Amino acid sequence: MTAILGAGMSGLSAAYYALKTSKVAPLVVLEATNRVGGWVRSIKQPDGTIFEKGPRIIRANYQNILHALWKDLTTSRVSKDDESIYSFMERRFGRDIAEKIAAPILCGICGGDIHELSAKSFMPKLVEFEKEHGSVFKVERAKKEAWNMWGLQGGFEQLPQALAQNIAKRGVNIKMENNCEQIIFNKNSVELTVNGKVEKYSHVISSLPAKNLADLVQEQHPELSKELLDIPTVTIAVAYYLIHLLFLKTPT
Ligand SMILES: Cc1cc2nc3c(=O)[nH]c(=O)nc-3n(C[C@H](O)[C@H](O)[C@H](O)COP(=O)(O)OP(=O)(O)OC[C@H]3O[C@@H](n4cnc5c(N)ncnc54)[C@H](O)[C@@H]3O)c2cc1C
């Protein structure tokens, strides 16, 4: 039996894909809270407006994209082992796209600074397309992956909820309010302390944030725990403004 730690998008997706192999079945997902989705959370206001606590709708500026397309098609490839996302975007699509589209999107996704984030790690497909074809837009698939932006009516939270329903129907046991407190690896099994009780599994898949996992392996693997704690994180604050239509001037 395999335990998957965490019922956010990563844990649920891990279960979805693990179902494709019989080697790790049966599957149990252990989630500390009483809901699935982790960071993906849509908060409905009394008037029906949805505030996304995590991922949200992203819209692209069409004119900027046309300009970016032109720049991309007329810019020759540069062979670099790695570079920052800003450097890659500015080189291929221009400063406008790098600063007005890439920076806010990337900040929204991971809170990182695009001058420091590695293009190779964060957008390996685009880097590969440039290497292979000399342009990102020459490849139709790249166009879809890079610029296809969408939202979900009713909120993004529907996605993890649908995923959870799907895997539960296919036999995955999703256990809510099951907080994993420690992981001990034995030769042929793994022991998890869950809500104070020890449970034995054949495999464990962790989708927990690095700092949470660090606590769990601290006793048996202090070095690993230290390395997990060394992974930098940032704090993000999300502010929403709901402006009633009555207060907006209509164009004359
Ligand atoms: C404001 C914001 C905007 C974002 N925008 C985007 C975007 O536009 N596009 C995009 O792709 N990404 C975006 N992201 C990032 C994306 O939301 C996250 O990368 C993704 O949701 C992480 O999912 P996860 O399953 O890896 O982790 P989490 O969502 O953190 O899930 C981990 C789960 O593990 C559970 N857990 C923790 N500890 C334990 C334990 N000891 N035992 C059992 N369970 C435990 C938690 O309760 C949680 O449910 C955004 C994030 C934020 C915060």
Nearest CA to ligand 1 atom 48: 38
Q: Ligand 1 pocket, 208 CB below 6 A?
A: yes
State the first-to-last Cα distance of the chain, in angstroms, to the nearest integer: 66
Give the model's pLDDT for residue 47: 84
Q: Does the beta carbon of 57 sit less than 6 angstroms from any atom of ligand 1?
A: no
pLDDT, residue 50, reads 87
Identify the pLDDT of residue 142.
47
Look at ligand 1, atom 13, and give the residue with the nearest C-alpha: 109
pLDDT score for 21: 83
pLDDT tens digit string along 9-63? Answer: 999 999 999 998 878 889 999 999 999 999 999 998 888 888 888 887 544 444 5
The alpha carbon of 148 is separated from its chain's Cα centroid by a whole number of angstroms, namely: 16
pLDDT at 62: 46
Answer yes or no: is pLDDT of 105 > 90: no
Where is average pLDDT lowest: 6-20, 40-54, 147-161, 187-201?
147-161
Nearest protein CA to atom 14 of ligand 1, as residue: 109
- Compute and round to an integer the Cα radius of gyration of the chain: 22
The residue that leads in pLDDT, 75 or 131, is: 131
The pair of structure tokens assigned to 79 is 């062979």
Nearest-10 Cα torsion for 49, 55, 56, 57: -150
Half-sphere exposure of 194 (CA within 13 A, CB side): 21
| pLDDT(64) > 60 | no
112 within ligand 1 shell (Cβ under 6 A): no
Determine whether the shortest distance from the Cβ of 155 to ligand 1 is under 6 A. no
Quick one: average pLDDT of 197-203? 96
Query: What b/e string do you get for 96-116 counting C-beta neighbours within 10 Å, with b at 16 or more?
Result: bbbeebbbeebeeeeebebee
Dist. CA 4–CA 8, nearest whole Å: 11
